Amino acid sequence: MAAKLRKREEIPAQYKWDLSHIYPDDAAWEAALADVLASGKKFAAWEGKVAENPRQAIREYFDLNQQAEPVFSYAFLRGETDNGDPVAQGLRARASQMGVQLSTAMSFFEPELLSLDDALLAEIAADPAMADYDAFLRNLIRQKPHTLPAEQEKLLAMMGQVAQAPNHIFGMLTDVDMSFPPVQMPDGTTAELTEGTYSQFIRSEDREVRKSAFDGIMNTYGSFGSTIAATYNGSVQNDVFQARARHYATARDARMEPLEIPTSVYDNLISEVHAAIPVLNEYLALRKALMGLDELHMYDLYTPMVKDFHMELSYDKAFDLVLEGLKPMGEDYLAKLREARVGGWIDVYPSKGKSSGAFSSGNLRDVHPYVLLNHNDNLSDTFTIAHELGHSMHSFYSNTNQPAPKSDYSLFVAEVASTCNEATMIRHLLKTFADDKKALAYLLNHFLEQFRTTVFRQTMFAEFELIAHTMAEQGQPLTRESLSKAYYELNQKYYGAVCTVDENIANEWMRIPHFYRSYYVYVYATGLCAAVSLSDKILSEGESAVRDYRKFLSAGCAVPPIDALKLAGIDMSSPEPIRRALGVFKDTLAQFKAVIMA
């Protein structure tokens, strides 16, 4: 375990992404930014004239968006690897300002389109020459009740940077200004604790190391609790304002209705997961027994339950394992993963100032996706590689098979391909290690943990978001005390029957960056439920299922997301895939018990 976080310049080039694929240097970015701003001014000349040639206005609208994408992506990615770099911060701030300027300059466009006669809009959508834009027009017509007059749309667009402020403040506080106490190691030394290294320590076999890291993270966030609560309140209040301004009943409606996802999907998820909490309790009780603990604390939930098996994986070994586990996806799929490995797509290791967590950015149609990792040498981070590359491959297939206006797949399906990679990989490995009891037990434990952390935990997060937004919509104050109370009570509901729910777990909501992108976390849970079913089909049906899966990956936003999943044989409008996935959790628990007791 590395005791000290490296500086970025200490990391070999082959383990860093290559942004020169976008622009060779910052000077080229500056030139591109100037070109985009000039194009924005040119597009503004359409104001009041869209009705004269709506087809051409639509084409130029999308051309401008495509022109702006690499400018924004370069600045964003440049800052993610060193949030303390003032030059990178400057680029990112200017890119954000560019986005607001463009949104303001283009704010007239949709209201003017919607002022056209419905029959004319339908005619344009049906025009074969406008086929690239038919999905956009279909959604635009559907959103007509929530589109405001041009001047009001312009005002909302001008608020863009203000609306982004809570997320930016949270990022600067947690990635740059906040520091954590060192972790006390068994040999008497200390190791640096960051969000990037926390996953190492919370999985440690040494309980004191786990507790030291847990307390260090939770108590540090707690010391900033009032500031973070005020920041999150600003984010929630913006969600509520935006929803009301656009005539939605709730902020949740405002997020889900444009994606053509009924809120019943959200409610079904929570209801089905609540029904499965007794199975979660059974799993937690088994963890407590296998670990030989009198009390199971919140910092005991992440360490592997199988103690006599170790799978330490360097990044290169981990990537080899990912390639092995994803063989069922097909050789052309693997070839693209190999290209990603050596082609400057991936930024691998934690470093000073680097953003925590992991993500894939797939917006650059003419370049390739970029993947940020914070790799530690363990199996969990190996699955993170598979997960993020799943996002990248979804972007690759959508960008390759759809025109730009149809290539951006829906938020609702955003976690399906990533989680399908994980599910396919682990189930393939379970067969590979079927005769190795220790390895099999370890992998089953990991699969169970994937369910706990992705379905149960993310659903709990979704409940917290719903509670917070409902409180705001009802005029109740969002304070450190009210938010922490709600979060602690949820932990009691999910874990309290078996676990000792530590008081400082009440601070955990403060460290979740996804809460600043409201009503997103539920798609991790629904994504895994869909992914488990998809991986079943791929592993049992082979090439025919892979072909159907490719249809889903290639669909982009050409069809609604529920219909995109139906191309692969999954109907998420029904609670059945959620029940089926939770049944797999129950069956896997039974299999795990049988293996460890044999």
Q: What is the DSSP string of 484-543?
A: HHHHHHHHHHHHTTTEE--GGGGGGGGG-GGGGS-S-THHHHHHHHHHHHHHHHHHHHTH
Distance CA 425, CA 565 (A): 20
Distance CA 121, CA 22 (A): 36
- Pick the catalytic residue from 60, 195, 388, 422: 388
- Alpha carbon distance, N-terminus to C-terminus of the chain: 33
Strands 499-500 and 346-347: unpaired
Distance CA 265, CA 460 (A): 15
Exposure letters 259-291 (e unless 16+ CB within 10 A, then b): bbbebebbebbbebbeebeebbbbbbebbbebe
Q: Is 388 an annotated catalytic residue? A: yes
Distance CA 447, CA 31 (A): 48
> Could you tell me which residues are beta bridge partners of residue 371?
346, 360
Token code pair at residue 453? 């952390």
Which region holds residue 116: left if phi is over 0, alpha if psi is between -120 and 50, else beta? beta
Task: Using CB atoms within 10 Å of the CB of residue 462, give its burial: 0 to 12 exposed, 13 to 18 middle, 19+ buried.
Answer: buried
Task: Using CB atoms within 10 Å of the CB of residue 576, give its burial: 0 to 12 exposed, 13 to 18 middle, 19+ buried.
Answer: middle
CB 243 within 8 A of CB 253: yes
> Could you tell me which residues are beta bridge partners of residue 347?
372
Distance CA 581, CA 307 (A): 27
Token code pair at residue 182? 């060192």
Q: What is the DSSP string of 444-485?
A: HHHHHHHHIIIIIHHHHHHHHHHHHHHHHHTT----HHHHHH
Q: For 347, phi and psi rounded to 5 degrees?
A: -105, 115
Instruction: Find the Cα–Cα–Cα–Cα dihedral 351, 353, 356, 358, rounded to 10°.
Output: -70
CB 390 within 8 A of CB 421: yes
Those residues with Cβ within 8 angstroms of residue 403's Cβ, 6 or more apart along the chain or in another chain: 132
User: Helix crossing, 277-290 with 576-597: angle to 10°?
Assistant: 20
Q: Known catalytic residues?
A: 388
